[in-house]
Structure 1
């Protein structure tokens, strides 16, 4: 699966269990700043904690440890502002129009990779 689908599914599961959750995003790029793409995350708010915590449901692999922690944010990628990358501050209740457009209009995953939004 891709980050958007995983983020939407995790948000729905958290909400079904009474945990406030929403969608949030990062704009990421290759190491030379080219090929920007919007990456999907989840924000959740646990009882007893006075802040939103972001989690990356994409999964771990060698070199990437995005396990959830309330003590420190552990995302798969750290934004590199000098490459034009962005942490979008908004927590969305539903996917933004550009994300929905990409998901609804791509017939195949290979097509989706080519049409992912580069910014929100």
Structure 2
């Protein structure tokens, strides 16, 4: 479980700005679920989804997302994981495979899982709400941004301690949010062999 508390290259919660934000969100106290809720609302509501707002630059590290106030779903999940870990809450990354628009192609969607003592691993999606998207923090009920409704879409039953390579390939090689949109990551992660993975989430 220690890997889900680690400060890493992309989930860099020991960065001074990230740590300060995490401490500010924890200042009101409460149980771990209360702190997790405040972290979730901060990332969901205060960090803009890059494509919704057409806002550059492309961010990846948690500290970059916080500094620029923007990120794709993947990058926002990196920041949420960092804020949770900084507060001693085990947190990882989860992925779905969703259709783009009303028909293929597909792309990966990034979200989180946090370990809450009262509920176990709980998935939460801080992508950012908009018309047709209503994600909430309401354990034990799961209310994500997107439901699996179309053949070919998938919920991957794992928790990754680090961003998936396909996600990093998109965020680190594309110069603008517009370019990322034309190179969104995709893939079947159901047989992923990444070591830092729990396969019993769902």
Alpha-carbon distance in 2 for matches of 1:62, 1:104: 29
Aligned to 1:39: 109
TM norm structure 2: 0.55
Task: State the Cα distance separating 1:46 from its structure 2 match.
Answer: 1.1
User: What whole-Å deviation, never above 9, does each CA across 1:50-85 have from its counterpart, x for those lacking one?
Assistant: x211111112123321011103110111112x4200
Count of residues paired in the alignment = 118
Q: Which of structure 1's runs of 4+ aligned residues deviate more than 3 A?
A: 30-33
Q: Is the 8 A contact 1:56 1:66 kept in 2?
A: yes
1:88 is aligned, of 138, 141, 156, to: 156
Equivalent position of 1:73 in the other structure: 142
Given candidates 56, 61, 66, the residue that maps to 2:125 is 56
Unaligned runs of 5+ in 1: none
Please say which structure displays the higher CA radius of gyration.
2
Give the TM-score normalised by structure 1: 0.91
| Distance of 1:75 and 1:48 partners within structure 2 | 19
Superposed CA RMSD in Å reads 1.4
Distance 1:77 1:101, change over 3 A: same
* 8 Å CA contact retained: 1:25, 1:39: yes
8 Å contact kept, 1:29–1:83: no
Give unmatched runs, 5+ long, in structure 2.
1-70, 190-202
**Structure 2 Cα separation of the partners of residues 39 and 118 of structure 1:** 9
- How far apart, in 2, do the equivalents of 1:98 and 1:72 lie? 29
Tell me if 1:21 matches 2:91: yes
Aligned residue for 2:136, secondary structure, equals coil
Distance 1:13 1:2 in 2: 17
Instruction: Say whether residues 1:97 and 2:165 are aligned partners.
Output: yes
